[in-house]
Amino acid sequence: MGHGKLKKFAENETFRCLLQPDANSVLAKPEGSKELVLRDHAIKGNWNRDMFAKAQPIVLELGCGKGDYTIALARRHPEMNFIGVDIKGARLWKGAKEATEDSLGNVAFLRTRIEFIDAFFGSGEVSEIWLTFSDPQLRGSENARLTSPLFLQRYIRFLRPGGIVHLKTDSRFLYEYTQSVIRANGLQVLASGTDIYSDGLLTGCALPEEDEWDIEAVFEVQTFYEQMFLKMGLPITYLAFRLDRAGLEAGAPFAYPTDFDAAYWREAEGPRRSFSHQPARGQA
């Protein structure tokens, strides 16, 4: 490990806005069992009390990388609290350092595997989720995609009723997959676009005023990868949808799509993705 990373890891320990729980705080082995099970972390349900300057609606960015999107959203919306989640400590260092140096009281970061995410948030604690340029898992497991039914099942445990999930990605494969998941579960699409900087967005129904949905942020806030793709002339897609159980029977899990042509969209994606996503960004 390089000296630069070691220095960042050491500095990470000094940032109050960065929570870095060890595995033992969220994993336990019940007596008589050989399997580890997920258990609640002490921060669950207590983010506004323990991590932020004041209690406000919470927005998550999952797989936040260096935290540039989280920071930008927080600067735009001081009336909301923002949490960036990733597994890479060297990446989180940048966002945590900026938040600390600029005294951004509405920013926090969580270093953990996204598979563990519902160990950290209580029922209704989160208002919105942003998925920005997540690994589409072109040839990996469907359950590793951050919009899979497995992940939606995790999100709904802590997302407020009717909370919004935003997906911004250069991957048409992931965009079309997510559309299939939405259809399979009768979820409400609020806005969508397959080339937002050229064609704009198609909006569904009007959003209630209390949602305070910042549609301009979709265009005006950009990640490092997004800026790279735009310079290459690649289209950026976007989806916003409500996550609820209105279309499901009581207690039923989210359904897997049956109309998604993975082979077609994998081929359409082409080889260009090999450089753009490190394996398991925020997931491994």
pLDDT, one tens digit per residue, over 172-182 is 999 999 999 99
Q: Residue 190 in contact with residue 204, Cβ under 8 Å? A: yes
> What is each CA distance from 139 to 105, 143, 205, 223, 263, in whole angstroms?
40, 11, 34, 24, 10
Q: Does pLDDT of 203 surpass 90?
A: no
pLDDT of amino acid 280: 38
pLDDT of amino acid 274: 42
Q: Is 199 a catalytic residue?
A: no
How many Cβ atoms from other residues are within 10 Å of residue 60's Cβ? 27
Q: Vertex 234, ends 202 and 165: CA angle to 5°? A: 45
Helix axes 68-76, 89-101, angle to 10 degrees: 30
pLDDT of amino acid 212: 54
pLDDT, one tens digit per residue, over 39-69 is 999 999 999 999 999 999 999 999 999 999 9
Q: Residue 129 in contact with residue 155, Cβ under 8 Å? A: yes
pLDDT of amino acid 98: 97
The domains of the chain, with CATH numbers, are 56-275 (3.40.50.150)
Q: Residue 223 in contact with residue 132, Cβ under 8 Å? A: yes
Pairing, β 126-132 against β 159-169:
parallel
pLDDT, one tens digit per residue, over 190-200 is 999 999 999 99
Nearest to 59 by CA among 87, 86, 83, 95: 83
pLDDT band at 271 (very low <50, low <70, confident <90, very high): low
Active-site pick, 86, 135, 170, 214: 135
